[in-house]
Amino acid sequence: MITLLLGFASGLPLALSSSTLQAWYTVSNLSLKDIGLVGLAAAPYTFKFIWAPLMDRFVPPFLGRRRGWIFLTQLLLSFSMIAMALFNPSTYPEALFLIACFMAFMSASQDIAIDAYTVDFLSEKERAVGAAMKVNGYRTAMLISGGVALVIAHHWGFPATYMTMGVLMAFGMLVTLMGPEPIQMVAPPKRVWDCTVLPFIDFLKRPKSIFILLFIVFYKFGDAFAGALSQTFLIREIQFSLAEIGTMVKFLGFLGTILGTLIGALFVNRIGWFSALLWFGVLQAVSNLAYMVLLWVGADYFVAGAAILIENLCGGMGTAAFVGLLMGLCNARFTAFQFALLSSLSAVGRVFVGPLAGIIAQDYGWSTYFLSSVVFSIPGLLLLIWLKSGIENMTETQSKARAEIQLKPISSQA
Domain holding 320, by residue range, is 2-412
CA angle (294, 264, 249) in 5-degree steps: 30
- pLDDT for 413 beyond 60: no
- pLDDT for 130 beyond 80: no
Q: What is the pLDDT of residue 404?
A: 52
Question: Residue type at 149?
Answer: A
Average pLDDT, the chain: 78
CB 349 within 8 A of CB 157: no
Question: Where residue 147 sits, what CATH number does that domain have?
Answer: 1.20.1250.20
* Lowest-confidence region among 4-18, 237-251, 296-310, 362-376: 237-251
Q: What is the pLDDT of residue 367?
A: 85
* Pairwise CA distance, residues 289 & 371, whole Å: 7
- pLDDT for 359 beyond 70: yes
* Pairwise CA distance, residues 150 & 144, whole Å: 9
241-251 pLDDT, tens digit per residue, is 777 776 676 67
Q: What is the pLDDT of residue 390?
A: 64
- Compute the average pLDDT of residues 265-293: 83
35-53 pLDDT, tens digit per residue, is 767 677 777 877 777 787 7
- Compute the average pLDDT of residues 322-337: 75
Give the residue from 218, 228, 243 showing the smallest Cα distance to 42: 228
> Can you say whether the dihedral through the CA atoms of 45, 103, 128, 140 is positive or negative?
negative
Higher pLDDT, 412 or 93: 93
Q: What is the pLDDT of residue 79?
A: 92
65-79 pLDDT, tens digit per residue, is 778 888 999 999 999
Q: What is the pLDDT of residue 357?
A: 78
Q: Structural domain tally of the chain? A: 1
Burial class of residue 269, CB neighbours in 10 A (0-12, 13-18, 19+) = middle
What pTM did the predictor assign?
0.63
As a whole-number percent, the residues of the chain with pLDDT over 90 amount to 3
59-113 pLDDT, tens digit per residue, is 787 877 778 888 999 999 999 999 988 888 777 777 888 888 899 899 988 888 8
- pLDDT for 7 beyond 70: yes
160-186 pLDDT, tens digit per residue, is 889 999 988 888 888 788 766 666 555
* Pairwise CA distance, residues 381 & 21, whole Å: 31
- Compute the average pLDDT of residues 8-27: 81
